[in-house]
Amino acid sequence: MTEYNVSRGALVAALLLAPAVQAAAQDGVTAPAETASDNQIGEIIVTAQKRGENVQKVPIAITALSGDTLAQDGVVTTLDLTQAVPGLQINNLFQSSNPTIFLRGVGVNDFNPASSGAVGVTVDDVFLNSGVGQLFAVFDIDRVEVLKGPQGTLYGRNTTGGVINYATKRPSFSPDFSASVTAGRFNQLFFDAAGGGALIEDKLAARASMTIKRRDGWAVNLQDGRDINDLETYAGRLQFLLTPSSDIEIHNKIEGGVTKSSALGHQSLGVFNATENRPCTGAEIIARTICVNPITGYQANADIDEFNTNVLNNSEKLTNFADRLLVSIDTGNINITSVTAFVYNKRELNQDVDYSPFAIAELPLWTEKSEQVSQELRISSNGSGPLKWIVGAYYLQERLSSLVNFTLLREFNPDPTQPFFDPASSIMTVERDFTQRTTSKAVFAQLDYELTDSLTATAGIRYTDDRKKLSFITYAGPVNPDSNSQARLQDRLLGFIDSNPGNGAIDLPSRTVTTLKKPTWRLALAYQAAPTVNAYASYSRGVRSGGYNTGALFSGVEFNEVNSESIDAFEVGLKSDLLDRRLRLNLAAFYYDYRNLQVFSLEPDPNGAAPIQRLQNADAEIYGAEVDIQARPISGLDIQLGAAYVHATYSDFVDPIRGDFRGNNLDKAPRLQMTGRATYSYDIGDDWTGRIGADFSYQSKVFFSAVNAEPMASGRHGEINLNAGFAHRDGIDLSLFVRNVGNKRYRADMNDLSSLGFYFPIYNEPRTYGVTVRYAM
C-alpha cells in the first residue's frame, strides 16, 4: 500500500535506476540505526552542513557515494568521480596530479597551481587550497559527498561551483580488519588493508590503513619501448581517537604517500595538409593521419596508444603529507569543534610537451611545492528546539612555490653540442620562478529555524578576507645540448617579465598583492509536504578571489590581473521517498548569474611562435535541471539513474585575439550527462551470496575552449562497466570486473599549441578487467 500515485512512465523510469548508497557520519556525528527493511532504500546521513543529517532533508543538491560503492566501481582517484556524478567534469591535461574540476559548468580551465579551483575539495573537514595533489590516492574511504552549487557560507572561498567532501573511515572501539587484492590487465596489482580497535577500552582507539597501487601503462613510447601512463602509488594513514570523557573527543590523523608515474601521455596532432599545401580543417586534424606539423613534418601515429617522444624519461612524482587534529567538546547544549591541519604537497614533472621525436617544446623541470596550515573553530547548537545554529571562524595560510624550465625549438640549434639563443626565432629556454603566499580569514554563521511544523528557514552569511602576495619573474636564455639540464639560467639571461623588457637587464621579481574582502550568503526555505517528501528553494552567492596569471612565460602581456568572480545561484528542488521507500526521486532546477568568471586559454601569438597563456574575465549565464532516481523494486535489486542538463553560455566575452564569444558554450560544460547502475544480489545456499551488476556513463558533445569549433571538442560518448561477485558470510568476497566494456576511446581533454604546429589531446583509458579478493571481519 502506498500514499502516492505514480504514473506508469515513472515506474518504468524507476526500473532503470541504480542502487541506493549508504553513508555513515563523520567526526562527532553518529548515524541513526538503520530501520529500512530489505525491500526499502536505506537512509543516508551526510555532514554537508557540518552536522549529521538525513540527505533527503538537506536543502542542497547532493550526490553521496559510500566507500563500498566507490570500491565496487573502481574509483581510485578524484578523477574517477566523473563517471558517477552527473554534472561533474574532472580533467587532467599537463599533469595527472593537478585536475581541473567543473560542476554544472562552473570551473576554471587553468592547470597552473596558483589558480585555486572553483570547486572546493575537502578531506575530513580540511580544505585543500591548491590544485597540487588534489588527485590523491583514494583508500579506506567512508563516503564522498558532492555538494552542487555555491557553498559560500560554511565552506567559503573558491567554492562557486560546489564542494567535493571526502570522509575517511575513523577509528572504532570495536576490532575490525579488512584487506583486498586486485589483479588485472596491464599487470595491475592493487593492495589495500585497514584495521584497528581499542588500545584502552572506551578511552583510546587506533586505526591504520595503507594502499599500494601498481599498474603498467597502456601506451608505449616507440623510441625505446617504455610504458606511458603507468601508475605506482604508496600511501598510508594512522589515526588515534581519544575520549577522556563522554563529552570530549580528540581525533588525530596522520597520512602521507608517494605517487610515481610516467608523465601523462598525449598525442601530437599536426595542423598542415602537406598533400594539398594548406592548413588542415578541424576534422582532418582529428583524423590523425592526414595532417603534419609544418615545422617538423611529423605526423601522429594511427594508434592513439603509440607515441614517439624524444624525451625518454617522461615522469611525474607527487609526494604528500597531512596531519589533522580534531577536538570536539559536547557541553550538552552546544558542541565546540576545532580542526587544525597541516598539508604538504610536492610535484616534480619532466615532460615532452610536443610528444614527437623532435625537440620542439619540452619541460625538463617543473617543480611545485605547497605548504598549508589551517584552523577552523565551530560552535553549534545541540538542542532539539525549533532553532539550530552554527557560528565559526576560519584561518588558512599557504606558501606555494613553482619553478619551471621550458625549452622551445631546441631542434633548430645549428650546433647541438653548444648552447644557442635566438629570441627572434623563439629558440630559447624560459625559466619561470614564483612564490605565492595566501592568507585567508573568515567568520561565518548559519541559522535554521522551524517557522511551522513543516516549514524551515535557513539564513547563512560568511565574511572572507583573502590576501595573496606574489613574487614572480621569468628569464630567457639559451637552449642547452642536454634538454634535461636543470641548471639555473640567471648568469646568462635576458629579462622577460620586467618593467622595461627592451633594455635587456634583469629587474627584481614582480611583486603584487591581491585582496578580496567580501560577504557571501545563503537563504533557503524547506517545506516538508509529507513525512517523506521535502521541497526547497534557495538563493546563494559565492565568490572566488582574483589574482595574476602565473602561467605567463614568454611575454609581459601574459602577466595580467583578473578580477574576483562571483555567482548568484537560484535553485528549487524536490526530495522524496515514495512507494513505501522503494523509490527515491530527487529533482533540482537552477539558474546562475555568473560574473567575472576567469577563463584560461592557450592561444596562438600572432606576432611569434610561442603560444600565449591568457587569463581573462567574462560573464556567463547557466541554467539547468537534474534528476536522481533510486529504486528497490524487489528484494536484492538496486537500480539508479542520474541525469543533468546544463545550458552554459558566455553572455559577455570578447577575446582581443580570437574574437567575440558571446553566446558560445562554456568550456567543459556538456549539455547532457547521464549515469546509471544496477546490482542484483541473490542467496546461494546458506553461506554464499552472489551478485551481478552494471553501470554506465554518457555525456553529449563538450568543448575544450571558448572557440566552440573542431578540433577543440569531443563528440558524445559513453562507457559501460560490468561486475559480478560472490560473498561468504565469514567475510570473504570475490569479484570480477570489466571497465569500458566496448573499449570506446575518445578525447578526454585537449590544448591548442597550433602556433608550434600541433594540438595535443589526451584519451580515456582503454578496456580493463580483473579480479578482486576482499576480506573483512
pLDDT of residue 97: 65
pLDDT of residue 95: 63
Q: Which residues pair with 699 in a beta bridge?
A: 673, 717
Dihedral (Cα; 7, 12, 15, 21), 10-degree rounding? -40
532 Rama class: left (phi>0) / alpha (psi -120 to 50) / beta: alpha
At residue 424, the 3 state secondary structure works out as: helix
Nearest to 114 by CA among 404, 368, 387: 368
pLDDT tens digit string along 126-176?
A: 999 887 777 677 889 999 999 999 998 998 777 899 999 999 999 999 999
Q: In which band, very low, low, confident or very high, does the pLDDT at 642 lie, cut at 50, 70 and 90?
A: very high
pLDDT tens for 417-427 read: 888 888 888 88
Mean pLDDT of 457-480: 90
| Eight-state DSSP code of residue 289 | S
For the cut 80, the answer to whether the pLDDT of residue 346 exceeds it is yes
First to last CA, the chain: 38
pLDDT at 340 over 90: yes
What cell numbers appear for 535 in the block?
A: 521541497
Cis upstream peptide for 711 (omega within 30°): yes
- What is the per-residue pLDDT for 18? 31
Domain 8-237+256-267+304-776 sits in CATH 3.30.300.160: no
Instruction: Count how many Cα atoms sit within 13 Å of the Cα of residue 48 in the half-sphere of its side chain.
Output: 28
Task: Map grid coordinates 528557514 to a residue.
Answer: 457
C-alpha to C-alpha distance for 8 and 23, rounded to whole angstroms:
31
Higher-scoring residue by pLDDT: 297, 44: 297
Mean pLDDT estimate for the chain: 87
User: Rounded distance, CA 285 to CA 381, Å?
Assistant: 60
Answer yes or no: are the C-beta atoms of 683 and 691 closer than 8 Å: no
Given a contact cutoff of 8 angstroms between Cβ atoms, the answer to whether 654 and 675 are in contact is no
Q: What is the pLDDT of residues 211-245, one digit of tens each?
A: 999 999 999 999 998 999 998 999 999 999 999 99
pLDDT at 469 over 60: yes
Distance of CA 163 to the CA centre of its chain: 10
Name residues whose C-beta falls within 8 Å of residue 177's C-beta, 6 or more positions apart in sequence.
193, 194, 195, 775, 776, 777
- pLDDT at position 505: 41
Is 547 within 8 Å of 472 (Cβ atoms)?
no
The C-alpha atoms of residue 102 and residue 622 are separated, in whole angstroms, by 13
CA 198 to centroid of chain Cα atoms: 35
The three-class DSSP label of residue 736 is strand
The mean pLDDT of 653-673, rounded to a whole number, is 92
Measured CA to CA in angstroms, residue 686 lies from 38, 683, 730, 735 at distances of: 17, 7, 12, 19
Residues near 746 by Cβ (< 8 Å), separated by ≥ 6? 714, 715, 717, 763, 764
DSSP 86: T
Q: Give 495's pLDDT tier (boundaries 50, 70, 90).
A: very low
Whether residue 208 is predicted with pLDDT greater than 60 in this model: the reply is: yes
Interval 319-343 mean pLDDT = 95
CA 337 to chain centre: 27
What's the DSSP call for residue 506? P
Farthest CA pair distance, the chain: 86
Give the CA dihedral 41, 46, 49, 52, nearest 10 degrees: 100
194, β-bridge pairs: 178, 209
Identity at 14, one-letter amino acid code = A
Cell reading at 574: 524536490
One-character DSSP codes across 22-58 = -----TT--PPPP---TTSPPP-EE-TTSS-EEGGGS
Note whether 576 and 552 are within 8 A (CB). no
d(CA 691, CA 682): 6
pLDDT at 609: 64
Which DSSP letter does residue 288 get? S
Looking only at the bridges linking them, the beta strands covering 306-307 and 219-221 are: parallel
The residues, ordered by sequence, that sit 6+ positions from 37 with a Cβ below 8 Å of its Cβ are none
Q: Rounded to an integer, what distance in angstroms lies between the CA atom of residue 646 and that of residue 659?
A: 24
The DSSP call for residue 492 is G
Q: By the 8 A CB rule, do 621 and 594 touch?
A: yes
The pLDDT-based confidence of 281 (bands split at 50, 70, 90) is: very high
Question: Can you give the pLDDT at residue 31?
Answer: 37
Sheet holding 88-91, edge to edge: 88-91, 100-103, 106-107
Number of Cβ atoms within 10 Å of the Cβ of 579: 23
Give the model's confidence band at 112: pLDDT under 50 very low, under 70 low, under 90 confident, else very high: confident
Integer angstrom CA distances of residue 728 from 636, 684, 773: 16, 10, 12
Task: Return the bridge partners of 169, or none.
Answer: none
Give the tens place of pLDDT for each residue, 81-101: 888 888 898 887 766 667 788
Each residue's pLDDT tens digit, 1-58: 443 333 333 323 332 333 333 333 333 343 333 345 678 888 888 888 888 888 899 9
Percent of the chain with pLDDT over 70: 90
Residue 33: the pLDDT is 33
Residue count (the chain): 777
Is residue 614 a contact partner of residue 659, using CB atoms and an 8 Å limit?
Answer: no
Whole-number pLDDT of residue 344: 95
pLDDT at 277 over 90: yes
> Which phi and psi (to 5°) does residue 70 adopt?
-60, -45
CA dihedral (557, 596, 117, 231) in degrees, to 10, reads -60
Residue 118 pLDDT level (bands cut at 50, 70, 90):
confident
| Domain layout of the chain by residue ranges | 8-237+256-267+304-776
